[in-house]
Structure 1
Amino acid sequence: MPAHYSLSETEEAVKRRLGDIAVRHDALAAVSNIHRAASAVRQHLENSALRPAGLTWSAFVVLWVVWIWEEIETRHAASEAGISKGTLTGIIKTLESRDLVERRQHPDDGRRALLKLTPEGLSLMERLFPAFNGEEAFVVEELAPGEALQLADTLRRIVTHLEEKGEERRGDLLGDEPVPPRPGGRRRSS
């Protein structure tokens, strides 16, 4: 049995498994392929553009967010990067040890912290991003002219839909029940 299946093999296996189960196959295919594409793109960018700079995907995304916003609260950086505050803490420690990011107390509230790139971090992003973008261009080079922008617009509509209506949908599905916490790696001892 092969350890890795092609996209076509996986799609055929899904068709066999689902059989006559009444599902929206178009939605299944779209969301599955969003996930597959995101994973493939992330892996390619980590292995091509980021590894030579000694960065993980998450560390790069944090640097990107701080670079774009110039100075940002840690809680907003975590949200923009799509990671937990705990994960951000570990990434920031690593980036601080490499003198790429500096953290300081918020002037209005000592419980909050602000992030800013150091001159070394700024220099790294100015050198790294053109190479990163070159790999982004490689990722979409099989698309016809205009298709990359059309894809970006389609994905933007999905994200906007979830931003605008996702909470309401979760409320409809869960009612008054609170969203259960994400399962962690450690289990509570009894």
Structure 2
Amino acid sequence: MGPLDSYLPYLLNRAGARIATAFGEEMRPLGASLQIWRVLAALQERDGQRMGDLSATTSIEVSTLTRLVDQMEKKDLVARRRDPDDARAVALFVTAAGRRLTRRIVPIAERYERIALKGFAPAEAEALRAALKRLYTNMEELQG
């Protein structure tokens, strides 16, 4: 293996940590966090997700997600409802306050993506997205 600064897991973690730290600091004054944003973004994409699906979508462990959703419910950002198709299952829905917060965070998230992709041609940005998705899928092998 070559030097640390060319080791892929190190580079991914370093880039992700830099983005997460700065983004988290910007979320604090809004009463939000990176994890809250992940949940809101996932629900904006598909409202009414079950906790298991939301855990997979957000990469937040179910036990951590349950505590996070408890906090978000107290802040009136989300509401739990019984799934109409399965009375045992609980689905999560964004409230009006959650939608307002999402609208405030979207431009910040878009700015972070713009900064992160500065100097990338559109085709390079798409190739990077595709490569990172494939890399993430490849890592599922470690869970087997």
Q: Does 1:33 align with 2:11?
A: yes
Give, in whole Å, the separation in 2 of the partners of 1:108 and 1:87: 25
Give the match's secondary structure for 1:104: strand
Q: TM-score, normalised by structure 2?
A: 0.85
CA, structure 1 residues 130+170, in 2 after alignment: closer, same or farther (shift >3 Å)? closer
Alignment partner, residue 145 of structure 1: 121
The structure with the largest helix share of the pair is 2
Return the letter of the residue paired with 2:95.
T
- Are 1:110 and 2:87 counterparts? yes
3-state DSSP of counterpart to 2:88:
coil
**1:15-73 Cα distance to aligned partner (Å, 9 max, x none):** xxxxxxxxx4389711111111111111121123x223111111111111111111100
Task: Return the offset for 1:128.
Answer: 1.8
CA contact (8 A) 1:75 1:85 kept: yes
Please give the alpha-carbon distance, in whole angstroms, between the structure 1 residues aligned to 2:64 and 2:75.
17
Aligned pairs for 1:13-28 (under 5 A) are: 24-25=1-2
Which protein is bigger by CA-based radius of gyration? 1
Which residue type is aligned with residue 33 of structure 2?
T
Amino acid at match of 2:120: A
Unaligned 5+ segments in structure 2 are none
Q: How does 1:72-151 map to 2 (within 5 A)?
A: 72-141=49-118, 143-146=119-122, 147-151=124-128
Give the RMSD, CA atoms, in angstroms: 2.2
Across the two proteins, how many residue pairs are aligned to each other?
A: 142
- Name the CA distance, whole Å, in 2 between partners of 1:62 and 1:133: 16
- The 3-state SS of whatever aligns with 1:113 is strand
Is contact 1:67-1:116 (8 Å) kept? no
Structure 1 residue 117, shift from structure 2 partner: 0.4
Going from structure 1 to structure 2, the CA distance change for 1:25 and 1:170 (only over 3 Å counts) comes to farther
Deviations 1:112-152 (A, max 9, x none): 200010112112212320222112212332x3323333322
Q: For the residues of structure 2 that align with 1:170 and 1:64, how far apart are their CA atoms?
A: 26
Structure 1: stretches of 5+ with no match in the other structure: 1-23, 172-190
